[in-house]
Amino acid sequence: MIAAQFDYKVPNSLEEAVSLIAADPDGSKILAGGHSLIPAMKLRLAQPQVLVDIARIKSLAYIREQGDEILIGATTTHYQLESSALLRQICPLLPLCAASIGDVQVRNKGTIGGSLAHSDPAGDWPAAALALKAELVLIGQGGERVVKADDFFVDFLTTDLQPGEILREIRIKKPTGKFGHAYEKVPHPASGFAVVGVAVNLSLKADGSCESASIGVTGVGVKAYRPNGAESALSGSSLNDAAVIEAASHACDGVDLNNDLFASGEYRCHLAKVHTRRAIAKAKASAK
């Protein structure tokens, strides 16, 4: 439970952080809230040579509207997202997801960027990022690139982040028209991580039928994913009970199911279907 030896650097700006990790791209790790990385280091699952702590770069923590987008700085804490009056109004899925994470202490320290960059198979933010079709802004010495959430989560604890790159910003298109959000989660009783988490982002037509649906599911497979069968079953449907049940039945189609002490793969898949159905119903009920 004691981490291997490492160097610790505290840059004052993003530019400085980028050049610090450029010096040793493979041996460096970015530290923000430390709620994913530090436990991994204590178990020696991660043994970085250099930790570059970006939590004190003030300009990396923000939530703002810009044109038709919402911009979120990578070191914005779960609590800042949970308590944002702006987000509750224009994108409630973010505060809903934030509120389900850990406890108050964790939410005050942990960051959205850290959670996304870690891609824990039981993390909450990947589900919300997928459901909101977020774009992630990555910066390295070669400049910036923007990656869609769909392409960002690659595998178990693996993202598209390359050595020497830092996740700087999360960009989300502001939901427009009539829309509804919901996040349903079964927390593990000990760790609080998601055994199953389902984020739903519904766009409705004036008559209440479904214009489009995007859904993110976490906890069920090696990484968070979008259940395409469920989304396409909803799209254009009337959202009546039968349509919602049919859509939810595709919640874990084709997924290599996680299987652990607390929940078998079969039980997880069952929970994913139940909570996908409930999340769709909640999102529909909350739509305005």
Partner 1 sequence: MLQGDATRLSFEGGTYSLQAASAAAATGSSDPVVPVAEAPAAALPEPQTEGRTSLTIQEIALAAHIAKDLPPDTEPGLSATYFFEPKNFTFPFGTHIAVVEVDRETGDIKFLRYVAVDDCGKVINPMLVDGQIHGGIVQSIGQAMYEEVVYDEQGQLITGTLMDYAVPRAHHVPHFELDRTETPSPGIRWASRVLVRQVRLVLHPLLSEPSLMRCRHSVLSISTCP
- The contact set with partner 1 (CB under 8 A) reads 39, 186, 188-191, 261, 266-267, 270-271, 274-275
Beta-ladder partners of 137? 146, 169
Alpha-carbon Rg of the chain, whole angstroms? 19
Min CB(79)–partner 1 separation in Å = 17
Count the residues in the chain.
288
- The smaller minimum CB distance to partner 1, of residues 29 and 275, is found at 275
Amino acid at 243: A
Residue closer to partner 1, measured from CB, 195 or 213 = 195
Pick 101 or 271: Cβ nearer partner 1: 271
Q: Which is nearer to partner 1, 236 or 265 (CB)?
A: 265
User: Which parts of the chain are beta strand (E)?
Assistant: 7-9, 28-31, 50-53, 63-66, 69-73, 135-140, 143-148, 153-155, 158-159, 166-173, 178-187, 194-204, 210-218
Identify which of residues 158 and 191 has a Cβ nearer to partner 1 in the complex.
191
- Euclidean distance between CA atoms 12 and 245, whole angstroms: 51
Q: Of the two residues 21 and 281, which places its CB atom closer to partner 1 in the complex?
A: 281
Whose Cβ is closer to partner 1: residue 2's or residue 261's? 261
By three-state DSSP, how is residue 95 classified?
Answer: helix
Shortest Cβ 112–partner 1 spacing (Å): 21
What b-and-e string marks burial along 90-101, b requiring 16 or more CB atoms within 10 Å of the CB? bbbbbbbbbbbb
Give the separation between CA 211 and CA 199, rounded to whole angstroms. Answer: 17
CB of 276 to partner 1, least distance (A): 12
Least distance (Å) from partner 1 to the CB of residue 100? 12
Nearest distance in Å: CB 109, partner 1: 16
Tokens 């982040």 sit at which residue? 161
The CB-of-270 to partner 1 minimum distance in angstroms stands at: 6
Both tokens of 21, joined, read 């990790």
Least distance in Å: CB of 7 to partner 1? 27
Angle, CA 197 vertex, CA 284 and CA 238 arms, to 5°: 25
